[in-house]
Each structure stands twice: as structure tokens, then as C-alpha cells.
Chain A
Amino acid sequence: MLKRRNTDSVELLNWQVTDVATFQKQYFLLLGLMLLVLLAYVFRMWHLQVLQGATYRYQSENNRIRLEEIPAARGIIFDRNGNPLVENRPAYHIQLIREDVRDLDQTIRDVARLCERSPEELFGVLEAGKHVPKFLPMRLMSDIDRDCLARVEAQRIRLPGVFIQLEPKREYRWRGTAPHLIGYLSEITEAELKGGQYQGYFPGEEVGRIGVESAFEKYLHGKRGGRQVEVDAIGRRMRLLDEVLPIAGKNVWLTIDIQLQKVAESCIEGRAGAIVALDPNNGAVLAMASSPLFDQEKFIRGMKREEWQALSRDSSHPLLNRCINGTYPPGSTYKPLVALAALQEGAITPDTNFSCPGFLEFADRRYRCWRAHGHGSMSMVPAIIQSCDVYFYQSGLRLGVDRLAHWVKAFGLGERTGIGLPGESPGLVPSSAWKKQALGVPWQKGETLSIAIGQGFDSATPLQMTLAYAAIANNGKLWQPFVVHRIEGHGPDEVDEIRGKLKQKIPIEQRYFDVVKKGLLGVVESEQGTAHAIKDKTYPTAGKTGTAQVVQMAEGPNRTPTKNLRERDRDHAWFIGYAPANNPQIVVGALVEHGGHGSSAAAPLVQKVIAEYLRNAPNAAGS
């Protein structure tokens, strides 16, 4: 007790007398307030649980209210002319709520008989789903055919617990066409559900993979609805209590023309390669074909593990979109860019002559021209027309790697074009700084010779190269390519038109564009041109061939004839062209992997695509 008194005296030193009194007051105030609130809660509870308890008990037991999901239809994908490319079809599933079933065994046998399946198969499904709570529906069979649907629907009154669920499924109207561009769907994974990217998604929903289905997922997807229904003892809907309608996804209009796409695809059928067609006046993608193709329908029907592995491990990489994801040495198609850079920097003039004896001696090495006996002395325009390597070795030497890199980057190479499709490659534009950093060794002057003709470290996607040519065709406007030109909601005001976005105006003088374009025109139109064979009488075509070496040629006077090389050692064939040359309406780039010469393997494909487009285009009566 003595101790206690001791404490009090110390406390009094610390606490003034008034303090203690006020403190006591607040202590009781707080306590009283809390008890008052808790008492109110107890009264409320009494009201809910005892006075109204029976009503709520009735509601919880007698009303068998279920929440059903209503899936939202995914947006439709159209081509530029309004042809539906991807639509939705109804798929019917047989669902079972075991709690409502009277005789499970008999019900399963009945359903199996109606759908001409073996009962064992359905019992297997039942076994696999036995952990699903009994009152929740489980899927017995998915995507049943019409006959089965009709029979089950007719017998449903005798099959309590069985019901049909309707779900929209993707239908590819042009099956196997433009699969890389359109993409496909697959079920959302658990990791994706947890991640932040797909908010508001439910397990079992499908999300777009690659292409437009993936890139425009947030527009196409829509929002799932639901309804609350009262059901009777055998699970039949008695009354609709409330319904939240699903919101269908928005429709997406592509910039591609499906006919042109078909032509482009038929051009490279049977080969690995890519064809890209762009509108040089706004950057719209008119066709985008990557070969080999794959069948999206397989993903929709559900792919077996082996099928998926076969597809993903195929050495020809059918899932790869070569247009945006394949990077290749650009070969001679690089030369017009070198020419423009050298002209603008004043390294050479259009009249600068270089003589080509068939090779250039540089640093104790012979850099060969593709034509062994040489082109003689020539100026820029004929050098482009005949694709003289020596001319561009010389131009590249005068220009230097870093000035070349600067201008080539201005044409959009070495960075993603921003087309908005997933998985785009940036390609590579080498510079001395890049090499020092990436490889740790200084730039060798000899390498400048290689990159000046598009070999060596240079690499670009077919889309990047085609886009750069579009910028040449339209005198220096670098567009951001795009594949969707309209996103269409459900009201009249909900239409978003997407127009091309100008990335930059390349600051190169018009007269230099004129010189280079004269050369490109000559490639097709002049007798000496490397692609003279594809000349069309009705409109002037301009372009450039490219034959990109895959393996460095052995030191020897002659190239090995293409036909003697193994397939995988053959050169990649390039051609990029535009037409009508005086008023360009379309730019087409074609790359054929291991196709051999650009003039013979790639140029005719480009001409076919151009011809198809100009035949149908109303404003293309150019020449």
C-alpha cells in the first residue's frame, strides 16, 4: 500500500489536479458513447434477426435466386471496305447443376443418348468436376451441334438440372487469311487475372493474342453482363429479377483490303517471307502477309498440347509475323537511303562519277560488285538503276557510318514503327558508338562498305523498309503506320476515325528526292534496270531490288549460282516498289526468305499486288 501512495505522489507531480479530473470526464464520455453505439447495434440486430428474422429466413431459403453470367459479344473486325473478317457465332454448351438433378446416373445416360456420345465420356467429365459445388453449374459438353441441341432442348422438361448455355464464339470468315495481323483468342491465364493488365476479367474468359485481337483487346472485349433469376425446385427459371445487359465489344475496321491481302498471300504461298503494302499518303497498311500462315480456327476449337507444340516449334515459325517481327539485312534496297544521305550531306552530288571495275580495293581487301566485270564509270542515277555496289561503297566511305546512321534513322529504321501491334522488332542501324558499346570494339572502315550496300550489321523489318520507301515516294513524309482506321461503338456518336499520324518531315531537299526517284523509276522502266522485267504498260512503276546475302561469300571470283546453294544458304530476295511513280498510291515491299535474286523472286510479287490494287482503286488512274 505504501508503494501505491508513493506512485500517486509522483503522478501528482506529473499531472496537475485539473488534468486528472478532465481526463476522467473524457474517459467516461468515450466509454458511454461507445456503449451507446454498441447498444444501438444490438437493437438493430434484434430488429433484423429476431423481429424480422423469419422474413429474412424465408428470403434466404425459399427464394432460390441465382446469378447467371451473360457473356458479351466481342467486337467484329471488318476490312477497309466493310467486309466482315471476324464475326461471332453462337456456341451451345450443355450445363448441369447436380443439386437439381433427381437421378444423376439416368440423366447422364439420357444426355449421352441424345447427343450420341458414350456415357463413360460424360461420367469422366463429371468425375473431373466433382470439386465444383453442387449448386453451381458445370459444363458437361461444349459447342454441341444443332441436332444434339434440338433433341436436348425438346427433352429438357424431363431432364431437371440440365440446361443449355449460349455463348458467342469467334468465327473467322476468311479462315487462314491474315492470321498474324488479326490474331487469335485463348483463355486468360491465372497469372494474367492476378496481374493488373486485365482488370474486370473473369476466369474462363478469352483474350486476344497477337495481332489486332490483342492490340485492340480493350475495345473488342466488351463487358460481361449478368442476371438474377428466381428458379424453381428443378432449376427452371421462374422469374427474372434483374438483369444487367452485357455491353458488346466495339467493332474495329482494319485498313487492309481483304482481296489485296488474298493476292499478297497467294504470291508468297509455299515460301517463307513477307509482303507489306502501304498507302504512302497516310501510312495505312493495305495488306500485310506473312508466310507461312497458320489456322486461327484451331485456337478457337481448342488445341491439343501436341498440336500447339508442333505449331510453336515448327522450324519455319508460322506464328511469327515476319512483316513486323522478322529482321533481315536490307541488301541493295538500302542504297536509295544511302544516296539520299550522301546527297543531303554533300558527300557527293548527283553528277559525281565513280568508276566500277567490278570491285573496290580497300584496306588490302577486295570488295566485289555484284557484276563481276564491273559497270564502268557512272553517276548516281544509273548507279541506282543498275544497283552498282562500288558506287555505293565509295559514297558510303565519303559519308561515314555515323552520318549514314543519322539519316537512315530519319527514315524510321532502327526503331519500332509504332504500328501498334504487339511484338514489333526495332531492327538495327549500326553506328560507331553502338558498336563500341555493344561489341566493345571500335568501328572498322571496311564495315562502312558493307553497310552501305545493306549488308553487315544492318537489319530491318519488311514494314520498316516499306515505310522508308513510302517516305521516299511522298518526298520525305515519314508516317506512323496503322492497321485500324475506325473503331465503332454502338451509338452513332461512338465512332472514332483514326487518321494517319505524320511522325516527321525528313529534312532532305526536294531536288535530291527527285534524283533518287528518277533512279528508282529507271530500275523498272529503263532497259538496264534490274527489275525491267516487271514493267507494266498502263502505269509507271518505281522500285528497287535487293539480294541480301545470308552467308558471307567465300573469297572467289564468282558467286556460286543460286541453284547450287543449299536452301538455307541462299540469299534473301527483296523488292520494294511504288506506283504510279508520278503519283504514288501504293508502296509494296516483298521479302522472300532464301528466294535468291530480288529481281526474279520478289519483284514480280510486288507488281502483282500493285496491279491488283490499282485495278480496283478509283483514284489511281495515275499515268
Chain B
Amino acid sequence: MMDRRLIENFDWSIIWVLIGIICIGLLSIYSALYNQIQAHPTHNLFIRQLMWFSVGFTVMLFSLLVDYQQLKRISLWLYLLALLLLFAVLFIGKDVNGSKRWLELGGFQFQPSEFMKIAIVIYLSSYFSSQETSPYPGLKKLALPVCLVAIPVLVILSQPDLGTAITILAISGTVIFFVGIRWRYIISGALLIAPLLYPVWEHVLKPYQKRRILILLRPDLDPLGAGYHIRQSKIAIGSGMLWGKGFLNGTQNKLHFLPEKHTDFIFSVWAEEWGFVGCFVLLTLFALLIVLSLRVARRSKDRYGSLLVVGMTALVLWQVLINIGMVIGLLPVVGITLPFVSYGGSSLITLCLAIGLIENVSMRRYIFQFR
């Protein structure tokens, strides 16, 4: 039986904000898929998304039951399991559109790279909160975590899945930054990486990825090829104007101009139909979610807890920033979905797990309650 005081410390405000975001997501998905649902009522992705939400919330509930302190002990094992699954994808993964990201287990598909996001945060926060590690750790202390981040990032890059690789880098970077990192490391790191940029541009990036970056600088370079998505997305967002065209009235969306409209470009659908006002509401909700989560981090009883919350917050935050930045034409197009808004099951469960862990820390923020 759960302690009554645990429930008292449950942060309801996070859940309310989350529900707000999810409602916006469901409205947008319904609109994006409206034609498809009308044409094939049996293949209803909207209903499926509702099912994913119920699965996600169940996962969130279960993640509250275990004290997050327990995870500290198995953090390395969780990380190794995630790594094992990532390697498994390389060999027995399912090929979708030329990239191997999915693993099939008993008729159920999932992306191990999603699980890795959670595992790496748990591992990093327990590593940096151990007794021997002080704030502003030295190079020796940093070497191991940096390596353990680099391995999955390289594996995911080879799938290839640039979006997830960037997300994991950004999340890990945020956690390390939070532990505290000396300026001289940042500067020497930057100096080390700078000369690598050119060979990476020349040899590692695929032609389509280069084009996406060039498009950002000069959007009219190729308005129907690589620039097509972003141009149509901008037309959709811009044509929403202040108040939007109204629910189910988005023409860019309906006329099939928007690509990947129920996944990566879902924000354009929302922006077209609800205008600047709708976008402002959504951005505010995301900002609130981050502020409330970071409040949990600050109030946590120990360093491990706050690092864990910071990592989970970063997981949500970076995906929001990268996805919206891409859709409004400020960042290059990489396949990152908008948390809690885009269609998709695997990422949704990861996100619910992340919120669950944040709440977990929030509920157990007073030490003595457990003693």
C-alpha cells in the first residue's frame, strides 16, 4: 500500500499541464488524419493513438510504485540491457524506409533507442551522484560517462537515426552540464571538435542531410525538392494567422501538402488551424511543464534525484525545442517528433515513463518519510 504522504507530494500541476498538451495533440492528430479516417474507417490511427495513451498512462502509474532509489543500483545493468537491444537491432532489426530502428518482440514493435534515452539518464545521474564524484569533476571522472554516451550514439547514427542520436547527446550534455563542468573543458572540447566538422560534413553526412542544412540557410534553393517540406510547413503555419482557420479547416493539411503531418509536422497542423493564439498556448504549456519539472528537481532530497529529474526534463525539452525549431524553419529537418502531440506509440511510452520518474522523485522528496 502506498504511503498517504507519498500521494500528498504527488505533483498534480504537472499532470494537468500534460493533459492540456495531450488534448492539443489529439485534436491535431484527429484533424491530420481526418481524410484518412473517412476513407478507411477500419484503419483508424486516432483510436490507436488513444490506446497508446492508455498504455502510456499505465506505464506512468507503474513507474510510480518503485522508489527511484532502487534504480540506482541497477542503473548500469539497465544501460547494458539498452545497449544490448541497440546492437540487436543492427542484426535482427526491421528495415523501414532504409533504416533499421525497430525491434520486433512477439508481434510488438519498439525502438530500443527510445529505451536508451531513459537508461542513459538513470545511469548518468547515479554515476554523478555517487560519493566519490564531486561537482566539477575532473577529466578522469568524465571519461567513463563520455564513452558510455558515445557508444549508443554511434550505434544509433549507424541505423541511421540522426534525430535520436542528437537527442541523446543533448540529454546527456544537459545532465553533465548540470553536474558542473569547468570552462576549460568546454573550450578545449570545442577546439577539439571544430577541426572535425569539415571531415564530418564531407564524409559522414549523407547528401540528403547536407541538403537539409543548406536549405535552412537558403530556403529557396530547392523549393520542390529538399525545401518542399519546410516551405509547405511554413505556408501552413503562416496561413493560420492570428486566430487560425478553425478546427478541421486547414487546407494545407487537407490537400496533402504537408508531409508526415501526423508525426513530425503535427505542429504545423495545429498552427494552421489555431493560429498564433493556439501556438502561444501550446508553447506556454510546454514552458510550464519544464518549469514545474525543474521545480521538482530543485526540491529533490538528493543530488541523484535532481539529476534524474533534470535528465528526464531534458528528454522532453530538447525534443520540443528541436521539433518546433525544425517545423518553423529555424533548424534543419531531422526526424524528431513533438512530445505528447505527435502520433506514435514507442516515443509516447518513453515520455510517459519520463514524467512518471519525475513524479516519482517528487513524491519521495522527504527523506524521513522512508526511514
Q: Tell me whether A61 and B174 are in contact in the complex, defined as CB-CB below 8 angstroms, given that A27-B294, A34-B321, A199-B97 are known contacts.
A: no
B35 at the interface (CB under 8 A from A): yes
How many contacts between A and B, using CB within 8 angstroms? 143
- Chain A residues with CB under 8 A of B235: 56, 59-60
Q: Assess the A61–B251 pair: CB atoms within 8 A.
A: yes
CB of B152, distance to nearest CB on chain A (Å): 23
> Would you give the shortest CB distance from A560 to chain B, in whole angstroms?
57
- Give chain B residues whose Cβ lies under 8 Å from the Cβ of A30: 174, 177-178, 294, 310
Question: Which chain A residue has the least Cβ–Cβ distance from B298?
Answer: A27
Question: Interface SS of chain B: helix, strand, loop or mixed?
Answer: helix
Given contacts A14-B303, A34-B317, contact A45 B328 (CB under 8 A): yes
Q: Enumerate A30-87 residues with CB–CB distance to B below 8 Å.
A: 30-31, 34-35, 37-38, 40-42, 44-46, 48-50, 52-57, 59-61, 65, 67
Tell me the interface secondary structure of chain A in the complex. helix
Q: Is the Cβ of A49 less than 8 Å from the Cβ of B271?
A: yes
Closest-by-CB residue of B relative to A45 is B279
B352 within 8 A of A: no
Task: Kindly supply a per-residue 1/0 record for chain B positions 266-309, scoring 1 wherever the CB is within 8 Å of any chain A CB and 0 otherwise.
Answer: 00000110011001100100110011001001100111001000
A241-B224 contact given A14-B302, A53-B240, A59-B239, CB 8 Å threshold? yes
Task: For the complex, give the distance between the alpha carbons of A480 and B367 in Å.
Answer: 76
CB-contacts of A104-147 with B (<8 A): 131-133, 135
Q: Is the CB of A35 within 8 A of B237?
A: no
Q: How far is the CA of A46 from the CA of B94 in the complex (A)?
A: 42
Of B256, B280, B306, which one neighbours A67 at CB under 8 angstroms? Answer: B256
In the assembled complex, the Cα of A61 lies from the Cα of B235 at a distance in Å of 10
Give B32-58 interface residues, CB cut-off 8 Å to A: 35, 38-39
- The answer, among A19, A52, A133, for a CB contact under 8 Å with B238, is A52
In the complex, whether B252 has a CB less than 8 A from a CB of chain A is yes
Is B238 a contact of A38 with CB atoms below 8 Å? Answer: no
B135 at the interface (CB under 8 A from A): yes
B211 at the interface (CB under 8 A from A): no
> Cα distance A23–B310 when bound, in Å?
11
CA of A255 to CA of B51, assembled, Å: 56
Q: Does A561 contact B (CB under 8 A)?
A: no
Are the C-beta atoms of B35 and A46 separated by less than 8 Å?
A: no
In the docked arrangement, what's the CA distance between A11 and B367, Å?
8
Chain B residue nearest in CB terms to A136:
B256
B310 and A49 within 8 A (CB): no
The reply to whether the CB of B234 lies closer than 8 angstroms to some CB of chain A is: yes
Q: Is A440 an interface residue (CB 8 A)?
A: no
Asked whether A56 lies within 8 Å of B238 as measured between CB atoms, the reply is yes
Residues of B within 8 A of A564 (CB): none
Q: Is A199 in contact with B98, judged by CB distance below 8 angstroms?
A: yes
Cα separation A225 to B166 with both chains bound (whole Å): 33
- The docked-state distance in angstroms from the alpha carbon of A595 to that of B367 is 93
B98 cross-chain contacts in A, Cβ below 8 A: 199
Q: Does A363 contact B (CB under 8 A)?
A: no
Q: Report the nearest A residue to B321, measured CB to CB.
A: A37
Q: Which of B234-262 contact A (CB under 8 A)?
A: 234-242, 251-252, 254-257
For residue A3, CB closer than 8 A to chain B, the reply is: yes
A46 to B280 CA separation, bound complex (whole angstroms): 9
Taking the complex as formed, is B180 at the interface, i.e. its CB lies under 8 A from any CB of chain A?
yes
Query: Is the beta-carbon distance between B279 and A49 smaller than 8 angstroms?
Result: yes
Chain A nearest CB from B321 CB (Å) reads 6
Q: Does B330 contact A (CB under 8 A)?
A: yes
Interface size on A, residues (CB 8 A): 50
Q: Which residues of A contact B367 (CB under 8 A)?
A: 7, 10-11
- Give residues 218-246 of B contacting A (CB, 8 Å): 223-225, 234-242
A9 smallest CB distance to B (angstroms): 10
CB atoms of B180 and A55 under 8 A apart: no
The answer, among B238, B298, B301, for a CB contact under 8 Å with A48, is B238
- Judged by a CB distance under 8 angstroms, whether A527 is at the interface is no
In contact, A45 and B237 (Cβ under 8 angstroms): yes
Q: Which residues of A contact B180 (CB under 8 A)?
A: 22, 26
Q: List the A side residues contacting B302 at CB < 8 Å.
A: 11, 14-15
A-side contacts of B297, CB under 8 Å: 27
- Min CB distance B241 to A, Å, is 4
| Nearest CB on A from B196, distance (A) | 25
Measured in the bound complex, the distance between the Cα atoms of B297 and A133 in whole Å is 50
Q: Mark B169-196, 1 if CB is under 8 A from A, else 0.
A: 0000010011010000000000000000
Q: How far is the CA of A608 from the CA of B98 in the complex (A)?
A: 51
Contact present for A55 and B238 (CB under 8 Å)? yes
When distances are taken between beta carbons in the complex, the residues of chain B under 8 Å from A244 are 224-225
Residue ID in chain A nearest B300 by CB atoms: A11
Partner of B234, one of A11, A22, A48, A50: A48
Nearest A residue to B310, CB-CB = A30
**Residue pair B325, A41 in contact (C-beta under 8 Å):** yes
Is A205 interfacial (CB 8 A cutoff)?
no
Q: Give Cα A131 to B238, complex, Å.
A: 30
Q: Are A10 and B368 in contact (CB under 8 A)?
A: yes
Q: Are B287 and A38 in contact (CB under 8 A)?
A: yes
CB-contacts of A442-478 with B (<8 A): none
309-368 of chain B: CB within 8 A of chain A:
310, 317, 321, 324-325, 328, 330, 366-368
Contact partners of A37 in chain B: CB under 8 A: 321, 325
Find out whether the CB atom of B241 lies under 8 angstroms from the CB atom of A41: no
Contact residues in A for B95 (Cβ distance below 8 Å): 196
Q: Quick check: A57 and B301 within 8 Å, CB to CB?
A: no
**B residues less than 8 Å from A536 (CB atoms):** none
Is A242 an interface residue, CB under 8 A from the partner?
Answer: yes
* Closest chain B CB from A10 CB (angstroms): 5
A-B contact pairs, 8 of them (CB 8 A): A27-B297, A49-B242, A56-B237, A60-B235, A60-B251, A60-B272, A133-B38, A196-B95
The 3 A-B pairs with the shortest beta carbon distances in the complex, nearest first, are A56-B238, A53-B241, A60-B239
> Residues of A with Cβ closer than 8 Å to B?
3, 6-7, 10-11, 14-15, 18-19, 22-24, 26-27, 30-31, 34-35, 37-38, 40-42, 44-46, 48-50, 52-57, 59-61, 65, 67, 131-133, 135, 196, 199, 228, 241-242, 244
- 15 more A-B residue pairs beyond the given contacts A30-B310, A49-B279, with a C-beta to C-beta distance below 8 A: A3-B366, A18-B135, A19-B303, A22-B180, A23-B303, A27-B297, A48-B237, A49-B237, A59-B239, A60-B236, A60-B239, A60-B252, A133-B39, A135-B255, A244-B225
